[in-house]
Chain A
Amino acid sequence: MTIMEFFGCTFISYGLPFAMFLFTIARDPLRVIVLIASGFFWLLSLLLSSLLWFAVVPLRDQLAFGLVFSVIFQEGFRFLFYKLLRKADDGLQKVSQANEDEHVMPRDISNKHIMAYVSGLGFGILSGAFSIVNVLADMAGPGTIGIYGDSQYFFITTAFLTLCFVMLHTFWGVIFFNGLDTKRYWMIAYVGVTHMLVSCLTLLNQRTDSRPEPLYLATLIPAYIVMVVSGVMAFFVAGGSVQNIKAAFVCRKGRYEID
């Protein structure tokens, strides 16, 4: 039972991101590097926020405080990573050439959305991993949750929320980078606001004295709505259109590739 739960939750939270990684990233060395680098940036933001959380002793029990600053730090580091990427464009272009013969601008550089997507996914994968990996380790047993009155939906909610955040980070990455590229700053504001909103909504998952049962639905439903909206937005921002969707259903070779 615990093993089944473990695998079920693993696949819920990481099935989609893993598929995305496999189909769009794994084959391209440059993307793998950018993915890890963006993950590292997310790690730095987490480090900074936990440092702040740790330093401000009186507010250590108030996760809302740490959360707000953590969101700010994450978006800050997303911006830093954007700056870094744009600075490194030249170098990346050289590094990514597979052959000396290739003097064409590689796709990854010419299409700015690809790196935006990759870095967004890097943020998402690491943040998702950090929020679920220990839970998964507990999930494998021995023992399971609910004995002391905790919600029996704890694990599955965690899994779905993790998936949601991985995807959200991916979409935010695309929107954020594009907003900076095209100087449409409302996009950046959108990213910041929705990130803050969704994160604050997850505060409802806490069990407090006045609210013994966590309000999972109040968290999950808005989070998924935001995710879908952001996804659609990212899709169109990246040059998607209805025709593209139709075309996607036509069988052709290499359709899983981003181009």
Chain B
Amino acid sequence: MSSKISSNSGDDEPNERTSLVSRHPVNARTAQEGGTMESLSASPAHLLTSSSTASDVEAAAAFDNTLAGNSDTPQTRDQASSPDDVAIITPEVTIRDPGRPLTMQPDQDGTQPPPRRPSRQTRGQSGEPASQEEEEEETLLYGAKHVIMLFVPVTLCMAVVVATISSVSFYSTNSGQYLVYTPFHDETDDTGTKLWQSMANAAILLGVIIVMTIVLLLLYKYKCYKIIHGWLIVSSVMLLFLFAYLYLMEVLRAYNVPMDYITVAILMWNFGVVGMVCIHWKGPLLLQQMYLILVSALMALIFIKYLPDWTVWFVLGVMVIWDLVAVLCPKGPLRMLVETASQRNEPIFPGLIYSSTMVWQVAGMADNNGEGKKKKRRKRSSLTTSSTVDDNSDTEDGENMRNGPRINRALSGSTESARARSAVQALNSDGVTSSGRRSPTPQRRTVQTARTSSASNDQGRPMGQEQIGSTEDEEERGVKLGLGDFIFYSVLVGKASSNGDWNTTLACFVAILIGLCFTLLLLAIFRKALPALPISITFGLIFNFVTTSLVRPFSDKLASEQVYI
């Protein structure tokens, strides 16, 4: 449900909700560099120079034109001429130009002097259509970095949960209270009863999730954006204030630390407000990521605490299937959501997504803002919108969270991927050529660029101000993972650690990371939004049960006899 990974360039499939979106750097430059002046003018892509505001306005105008289909804008050229800080606004341009040199040289990324263009042009014309293989190779290029950019937050989130579970007994003990969605509390000793009760619980939970997803779909379909945003904000308020307060209380209690209410009130107020601002409006990337991780961890702790033992495992299993269905089925609800979003050419709602590289984003903006204007972005900002969305997902109790995040993700992922796809297709049809070995890279860039630009369009316009292209590609590209994935990974590891065996925790941790690696590998291959839960959680579940039942007795015996294998 919660997780999808989307690759930059969706080739074929419409949209799937993407929990992981790999972002590529937005290179306005690419577009600019590649074409001659003419080509530039023809091409919609614009570079915005940070230096001049005027240029931004022009760029915006140019952008509009491009949208309208006008290819020739004088302004474009001007902007293009400015070397640094180029923001790509329109992806489509890049795509259209057939002769466009996809082959960009690496060095040019950093600085693109206008003079180079002519040469490129020549190259581009000589180029031949890039094969899919090449594209795939390009996608793989940044793989390792992306994987690590996800490893770190996932590890941190799990670490928070595991540390809490093992030190604060509140979260690992059953208080007899459960979520309303799980009416059966497996308190019997009869395995059969436990089994069907857990299944019933999981089914009920799944039903709630499906219903919420459909509600969201309907709300989105009929453009009730205000309601959706309100929903997301309410849930994040709850998570940031209520659940964080409960967490703080339990931690203080566990360590027997007294604290007066005034201090607590000040702490909570500051924590919550900063969190709301970071999540729904803007804030430093690091802070935003930190809040997202914390929110996921809090949610995971709630699940661990308030779901009956066996239900947790069944829920995890059900989620795997649901994730697969919702993302990959032609009629999957998330997929439909995404398609709707892409039809409208809208950015998806704020998705509940963790993104490794986005800077600030305005959350509610998607709805209706001035068009044509761009926000200034920082280098990393290209991904912004999606990040904003993520926060919301964390919020509510069981249902909302899941539905909301998924949808949002899906939407955002889908739109982007759809655009990317179209861009790719356009490229192919145009017969864009990649020259020699390098060709793959350039093409890839184009695709990415297009994507970025599309994303920027959606998001950027609404926001209304100037967007600044980021200079460095690296910073701009990133990967997205749905917060739901964070939550369920953490639930799995936290649950594994609650039985007191660290070997199981370790095994689950390694299994989940390996699953994530596989998913990212698949992402690079298929290049469309993928569910991030299935492989990781399946591995995690297998290793959890195998380790508990087989490995644990063996390694306990080895450890107590001090025999090393």
Contact = CB atoms under 8 A, between A and B. Distances in A.
B144 A29 contact: yes
Specify which of B145, B437, B503, B563 lies most central, judged by the most chain A CB atoms within 10 Å of its CB.
B563
A70 B553 CA distance: 15
Contacts of B144: 29-30, 33, 95-96
A128 B511 CA distance: 17
B286 interface: no
Interface in B467-515: 473-474, 500-503, 506-507, 510-511, 513-514
A124 to B, nearest CB: 11
A40 B510 contact: yes
A53 to B, nearest CB: 5
Interface in B516-536: 517
A28 to B, nearest CB: 8
Contacts of B561: 63, 205-207
Classify chain A: how many residues form its interface, as a range: 35 or more
A30 B147 CA distance: 9
B558 interface: yes
A130 B503 contact: yes
B550 A50 contact: yes
Interface residues of B, number: 50
A33 B562 contact: no
Contacts of A120: none
Interface string A98-110: 1111110000000
Contacts of B554: 46, 49-50, 53-54, 66
B254 to A, nearest CB: 15
B148 interface: yes
B137 interface: yes
B31 to A, nearest CB: 15
A32 B151 contact: yes
A134 B474 contact: no
Specify which of B143, B444, B507, B564 lies most central, judged by the most chain A CB atoms within 10 Å of its CB.
B564
B445 interface: yes
A226 interface: no
A154 interface: yes
A63 to B, nearest CB: 5
Nearest to B514: A40
Interface stretch (B103-111, B174-182, B203-211, B378-386): B103-111
Contact of B564 (A40, A102, A161): A161
A53 B561 CA distance: 15
Contact of B106 (A33, A63, A102): A102
Interface string A37-81: 101100100110111011000000001001100110010000000
A135 B555 CA distance: 11
15 contacts: A32-B148, A39-B510, A43-B507, A63-B563, A66-B554, A71-B565, A94-B137, A96-B144, A100-B141, A101-B106, A127-B564, A127-B565, A133-B503, A154-B562, A203-B563
